[in-house]
Amino acid sequence: MLPEDAAATIGRAASTSFSDYIAAQNPAALPSARDAANHSAGGADLAPHATTIVSLTYAGGVLMAGDRRATMGNIIASRHIEKVFPADMFSVLGIAGSAGIALDITRLFQVELEHYEKIEGTRMSLDGKANRLAAMIRANLPLALQGLAVVPLFAGFDTTRRVGRLFSFDVTGGRYEEQEHHSVGSGSVFARGALKKLWKPNLGEDDAVKVAVEALYDAADDDSATGGPDVVRQLWPVVYTVNGAGARRIPERTLAEAAEDIIASRSVSGREA
């Protein structure tokens, strides 16, 4: 058994926020602790960037999808990067911007939610999760001003309201709840145009998957930084759905069928644009 004074010290150090605890104990370990003075705006092109993420609500939940391409200036840095991750059982996170920093923030956010659940004995509310993520993005502002920005998209199933919800952010940590659908990243303008035409109220899950894949297909058609379905390499978007049963990754076989259906329909119709 710990001495009373040691137990009191540990109790005072305990916090529901893992990132606050790290900031107090070892601030250099945080993603936002990178030395912004060592980076220039032009140097941002040397860091791989993740691009287009789409999210949409459907009957009973919410879906998020991301393409597989990362770019470094005019170079394709990776064709295999994954940009959508489960944050916890009932939420998912998509990243756009500087890939390395975004991945660090994603891992920290996952630990943050797990830590809160262990300390409090309950899950954080969906609004609470979005607020915690906003604080992490705000902490990265000095690097964002140097061109190393991270702009995530966050979605989850609200277990109180029993609906799927999605949130966007800006580089200052501003948090905005979106309705129906949204997209971030370099191809987001084209993806949003597709979502406006394809999304309908009360979509089924299968139809929602097809809408997301087609929106990414349209984004890749006009944005060089967004990777479309790669039939040769058998690379498909990463897609997660979140509903009352939790987060689930859509199998690649389902995504391959959706992509091939899109390609076949456009080939048959002879569509150029």
DSSP state, residue 73 = T
The number of residues in the chain equals 273
Collapsed DSSP state (helix, strand, coil) of residue 124: coil
The answer to whether residues 254 and 208 touch, using CB atoms and an 8 Å cutoff, is: no
Order of all β-strands in the sheet with 153-158: 84-88, 91-94, 153-158, 163-169, 175-178
- Cα pseudo-dihedral 11, 108, 33, 83, rounded to 10: -170
The answer to whether residues 139 and 70 touch, using CB atoms and an 8 Å cutoff, is: no
231-269 pLDDT, tens digit per residue, is 899 999 999 999 999 999 999 999 999 999 999 988 876
156-191 pLDDT, tens digit per residue, is 999 999 999 999 999 999 999 999 999 999 999 999
- CA nearest neighbour of 92 among 144, 167, 192: 167
Q: Provide the percentage of residues in the chain whose pLDDT is more than 90.
A: 63
Collapsed DSSP state (helix, strand, coil) of residue 239: strand
> Is 51 a known active-site residue?
yes
As a three-state string, the secondary structure of 129-197 is HHHHHHHHHHHCHHHHCCCCCECCEEEEEECCCCEEEEEEECCCCCEEEECCEEEECCCHHHHHHHHHH
Q: What is the pLDDT of residue 41?
A: 47
Can you read off the two tokens belonging to residue 6?
A: 């040691």
pTM, whole model, 2 decimals? 0.83
Catalytic residue among 16, 51, 57, 106: 51
DSSP for 74-103, written as a single string: TEEEESS---EEEEETTEEEE--EEHHHHH
25-78 pLDDT, tens digit per residue, is 656 666 655 554 444 445 555 667 878 999 999 999 999 999 999 988 888 888
pLDDT at 217 over 60: yes
DSSP state, residue 19 = H
